[in-house]
Chains A and B, each alone.
Chain A
Amino acid sequence: MYSVVQPNGWVALRLPSDTTKVLQVIPNTTISLGKYGSFPSNLIIHRPFHLTYELEDKREDESYCRLRVVPPSELYADVIAEEDEAQGCTTPGDQSDKILSATDGVEFSLVDDDGKVIAKSNRETIDDNARQTLTMEEIEELKREGTGAGKDIIAKLLLSHTALDQKTSFSLAKYKLLKTRKYIRRFQVLPLDVPLLGKWMLEEKDAMRVMEMRDEMIGLVGCWANVHYAGEDVTLDELNASRRGATNEEVTDEDRLKGLEEEVKPIDGRWLVIDDTSGFLVGAMAERMGILYQEEEEIKEQPTEQAVQASSEIKAENDTSNEIDQTKPKEQTAEQAVQVSSELEAENDTSNDIDQTKPELRKLALPKKLQPRSHDFQIPYSQTNTITLLHAASQPNLSFLTYYGFDVQNPNHPPHPLINHLLPLTWLQLLHPEKDSAYTTPPPHLPQEKLTAMKTNRRGGYHRKRRRYARVRHIVDSARAGNFSGLAVASTMEPISILQHTLPLLAGGAPIAIYSPSIEPLSELADCFSVARRSAWMSPETAPPETIGKTAAELERWEGNDDFPLNPTLLLNVMIQTSRARRWQVLPQRTHPVMTDRGGSEGYVFTAFRARPAEGRVEARGKHTAKRRKVGEKSADASAAGTPAPTEARVGGHS
């Protein structure tokens, strides 16, 4: 994650009203905070996160508001003063002179009956009915010419409140906070990382888009699916280098395609994901795997001196580069539209977002990462530390990843760690690759002389098609080969149907974590692995007739029936849990849980581990075996003859 705000990067601004404003910090623009005022975006670029700023009054000769960093001592002045007072450190003075604070998440509700008056109005009571003596017009006037970042108006409002001396200290504090939230011109800059994105979506935007997945759930899914950084990138070429020696220049397409099939040798550190949260789950996993954020550009050393010398020059430069930005998107999208076939429906909306960040990204990483490919069929993907994403539509919906500079549909993507670590494929490709045209249509092949005669963009299209074919082949083949090290699911689809097809793909001992906003789908799933069902599966009288005599490897891929939708011996440690963080307000003398919180779905997580059942019938040892043992003795003995079941057979059996 970045240490300072990036130009053209996404940030979240937290306002005094506790609302979050998510925006892209485009240089040389004015950021408007609505009623709290506006300021130039350049004032927060390359500044640290988590600082609280106050909008200063405009200076006479300037057309914009400057920002002042509010020190934490000022933010908490009220509470600290209160604590000191309680300890008798200071004499109770006129608190209305003190700086106003907007402590986060504060909620005053306990009212002390013998609370003493700590601030007094200096006006006589004029009208008992109208407690606030300032008229609407006066307030509007104050707002217009208000100075001191809104502190003025708040102080005036307090002083004009006729019943202020009747308020207890706590209700006064509450009143003050209310007015502060409304008028103080402050904001805090936060990095838009996954926890914040989730919180914002959940509490302010559209909770359904993230399937109401709270932080607790994201944390549980990530931990139980054991998602973590799995090691340095390994490419297929590196894997195969030792096996094949140096690559021959004169390799034909056929050889390479054949090689591609041979090359599918899954190694560990690959996670399988099903995500119906528009990329939120993928983002959270990528964050855990260290492939979500780009490496930070070293801004500090090189530009500063230069910049100090000739700021005006740079400003001019910025202006021109801005113009380039604005013209580039159109050109590029047009170009793409011509070149690229149906696969790439460039959406103006998103490509615009990306393009605005593009110039900066380009500078960032081009020389280091992008080595030219030696041939079209070279696989760009890493073989470890990857996310294989199964999606139900023809294109994966990963719109949240645009906040992190990744657009899955962009064919000419600027460098991003997700590009060679995210492998999307459709369910059709997984289950019936022969019905998928991208998988089955052989790549075009043209002789060299024809190719050189082609127009540039048609030649680009030719290479793109060939590359795409190799890519699809690799993704599908490696996914079907299985051996995934974990499965994470947040999907609106039935979990039973998902597991029917994904369980065989998991390596032994691989963890599974399935999130669901409601418990019913998960309880149905857990019921497939109930003790009763498992013992029915084991017992020859009740086991489904078509499974009898099959090997463990065959039973792993058994398609299931009404009685046994899934092979109940394939999962271990089945557990459903829910978790909820209860927030508290912590203030001197009034610490308690907050009164209200988000409702909606609790959220549940199903966890388990993939088991590899032993060959043949296995008798449990315990209370209830006594009766059954006589019946099963023979079969157990028969299968026990060569046990422990030969490991080679089991390894081989898992294809």
Chain B
Amino acid sequence: MNQKSQHNTMAPDSSIVSPFLKPGTVTKPHGLAIVQLSRDNLVPVYLQDTKGAHDGYAEGAVVNTRYGSFPHSTLIGVPWGSQIRASNVDTGSRGRKRKRNIGDEGGNEDAEDGAGAKQANKEEVEGNDEQVLPKKATTASSGFVHVLPPTPELWTASLPHRTQVVYTPDYSFILHRIRARPGTRLIEAGAGSGSFTHASVRACYNGYPLSDTDRKGKVFSFEYHEQRFQKMKVELSSHGLDGLVHLTHRDVYKDGFNVNGVSPEAEAIFLDLPAPWEALPHLSRSRPASKQSLGTEENPWVSPLNPRKSAHLCTFSPCIEQVTKTVSAMRRLGWVNIEMVEICNRRIQVFRDRVGLNLPVERGANLTPANVMEAVARQAEIEERFKEHARSGPSTGEMEIDEDVEADTKDGEAIRAAAAAAGYKVWKEGKLITKGEAEVKTHTSYLVFAVLPREWSEKEEAAASARWPCGGEEKVIGALNKEARRREKQKVHEGQKKKGAKKSMEGAAIAALDVPCKPDGVRAS
């Protein structure tokens, strides 16, 4: 990496760097934080340090959840990962005039934050006249949340608008396969809800460009849908990603991928489009046959690809018909190493399976026999009791049987209570087992990967072959058949005879023989 020391002083300080890339150690006002209610219940919150009552809350802006209310003031300035206690917030008496349904706190958290962020400015203007300090939050007796730094994974899981989302199992694999690394220029078409955008920014980030000519890793994102484009634009700005993502509102089928006529020089491409084959011709090295109309004499066709590197492409299509068409187009356009895969991701639950007749009554325990022995013992016991009952005579009637059974259950409870007192540890009992989660995503989309090698002109080839002329080969590397090996040996021996002094030759030749076959065999063992 080209770290130059003078850059350090010029580099934007951490307040400008996106919280996704450098969250710092504590939560900051106006920053994005992910509030975690429970494992799959995440709420993105833009923290506000309101100067007075906000939206009817004396404590300023408040996050209301089903686990309690959390004024932003309790979420700001704490280390990431902190557990935050709920506060006593008066949610009942505020803003009766407003239409908001107070009883429905848990349900409208998302709306709350979205609306809260937008209203923040208005409220502040109104609130400034009063100059009232927000009421200090008092801690409630129960309820808590955790506050986490934003990462693409958490953002994806908490996305406020659920259009098409590329989830972590897919994007992690895609970014790995299309070689999105620090410094990569990446084209993304179909920004959608922005999950892939955030993940690819993290992958390509190698510093903010300091000037227009400073070439850094960057994501060029294209969105056709006007409203989604607007929403994304606001979102990217508020996430501090403006210098790292270039978002364009465009129909890429028609207008391709250049930005203001300038090539993004991409080496990685992700197409989440309904018809990738319509966009593929734009991603050529030279003007494609089907697009003769594009580009004229004075306005030549410019490839959006990096002319010096192979381009790695992935398309994301849910239907097999789309894949067939895409692959066919790829073959005709010179893409190689075409491969189609589908990602099957499963989340796995871990729990303790508690089965047995003699377990204490508690949630999750299955009070049935744990094994045949237990079942048999139980049956034998019952059988014995019936026999006893028969022997004692028929006169006693049904009442007694009932008493017997009752006594039995009471006994059982007593046993279980004793077990609990004797140190029954519910979290350690039972067999530890795993199984798939209740709901499985069986199909997201088909991923088609392909590579387009760089163009190689005759001039470049001539230069390379002049620099590296052939005919002077000294030894053989790679697989050797018997004959070649013998020839190699003969050559070495001859060389030794001719020039006794040239001993180093043999060593080098042997090293060369060993190297490709076993590059690190010694250290492995």
Contacts and interface: CB of A to CB of B under 8 A. Distances in A.
Contacts of B465: 42-43
Most B-side CB within 10 Å, residue of A10, A26, A31: A26
Contacts of B454: 3, 48
A134 interface: no
A219 B78 contact: no
B185 to A, nearest CB: 13
A228 interface: yes
Contact of A50 (B206, B308, B310, B339): B310
B148 A104 contact: no
B432 A577 contact: no
A625 B142 contact: yes
A612 B147 CA distance: 9
B453 A228 contact: no
Contacts of A32: 476-481, 484
A614 B82 contact: yes
B472 A319 contact: yes
A1 B22 contact: no
B392 interface: no
B1 A417 contact: yes
Contact of B522 (A330, A347, A511, A640): A347
B473 A48 contact: no
A321 interface: no
A359 interface: no
A80 interface: yes
Chain B binding site: helix, strand, loop or mixed by DSSP?
mixed
A30 B453 contact: no
Interface size class of A (residues with CB under 8 A): 35 or more
A195 B142 contact: no
Contacts of A79: 331
A322 B472 CA distance: 12
A330 to B, nearest CB: 7
Contact of A614 (B24, B85, B149, B203): B85
Contacts of B22: 230-231, 268-269
B342 interface: yes
Contacts, number: 447
Interface stretch (B112-120, B166-174, B251-259, B373-381): B166-174
A51 interface: yes
B338 A229 contact: no
A349 B520 contact: yes
Contact of B425 (A209, A228, A563, A644): A563
Interface in A300-346: 303-304, 307-308, 311-312, 314-315, 318-319, 322-323, 325-327, 330
B86 interface: yes
Contact of B340 (A29, A215, A530, A586): A586
B169 A220 contact: yes
Interface of B: 1-3, 5, 7-8, 11, 17, 21-26, 36, 39, 66-68, 74, 77-86, 137, 139-144, 146-149, 151-153, 168-169, 171-177, 179, 181-183, 199, 202-203, 205-207, 308-310, 320, 323-324, 327-328, 331-332, 334-348, 350-352, 425-428, 432-434, 446-448, 451-454, 456, 461-481, 484, 504-505, 507-508, 511-512, 514-516, 519-524
16 contacts: A46-B468, A219-B176, A233-B3, A234-B8, A290-B183, A303-B467, A312-B469, A315-B472, A319-B472, A349-B521, A352-B511, A573-B39, A578-B346, A586-B448, A604-B348, A620-B143
Given A4-B464, A28-B473, 20 more contacts: A35-B481, A38-B484, A48-B456, A66-B470, A195-B177, A224-B168, A231-B11, A278-B523, A308-B463, A315-B472, A326-B504, A330-B507, A399-B520, A532-B427, A576-B348, A579-B345, A581-B341, A581-B344, A583-B341, A618-B85
